Amino acid sequence: MHELSIAQNIIEIVQDHLPEDQKYSVKTVRVKIGKLTNILPDSLVFSFDALTRETNLNGASLEIEHLPLTIECGDCGLQSSGNEFIFACPECGSTSIKIVSGNELMVTEIELND
C-alpha cells in the first residue's frame, strides 16, 4: 500500500482541524487502521515522520490503533475477531458472515501540547 499518500491525507485532515488563530504544537495524532486495509504501520509512521519534519507538525507522533478483522455470523450470531483473514464462523462454520470491523482508516484524535 502507498503509505506516503495515506500519510499526506492524514496530515491534511490534521491541518484542517488545527485552530487557525492560535499557536499550537501537536503532540500526537491518533489513527485507527483496520486489518483489511493492507496498510503497513511501520511504513506509515516512517512516511508521517518524513512528511512532518520541518513543518508545523514537526515532532508530532503518529499513534496507530490496530483493529483486527471482526465478523458476525448471520446464522448463529457469534461475533469473532482475529488477525487472520477468515471469513467463516469459527463456531458453526457458516460463510454467511458480515464484516463488523476491519476496514477502518480514520483519524480519531489530535492531542496538543499545551
Partner 1 sequence: MSVLTIERKVLEKNDIIAAANRKLLQSHNLYSINLVSSPGSGKTSLVERTIAACQNKIRIGVIEGDIQTDLDARRVDALGVAVVQIVTHGACHLEAALIGDSLKQLDLPHLELLIIENVGNLVCPSGYDLGENVKVVVVSTTEGDDKPLKYPAMFRNASALIINKIDLLPYLNSSVDDMEKNALSINPALRVFRTSCTSGEGIEEWCEWLQSQISKK
92 contacts partner 1 (rule: CB under 8 A): no
Question: What distance in Å separates the CA atoms of residue 48 and residue 8, rounded to the nearest whole number?
Answer: 7
Other CB atoms within 10 Å distance of the CB of residue 62: 22
Range 7-26, binding partner 1 (CB under 8 A): 9-10, 13-14, 17
> Applying CB under 8 A, which of residues 88, 89, 90, 101 lies at the interface with partner 1?
88
Strand order in the sheet with 97-101: 79-82, 69-73, 97-101
Binding segment toward partner 1, per CB under 8 A, in 46-54, 57-65, 74-82, 87-95? 87-95
> Applying CB under 8 A, which of residues 72, 77, 78, 110 lies at the interface with partner 1?
110
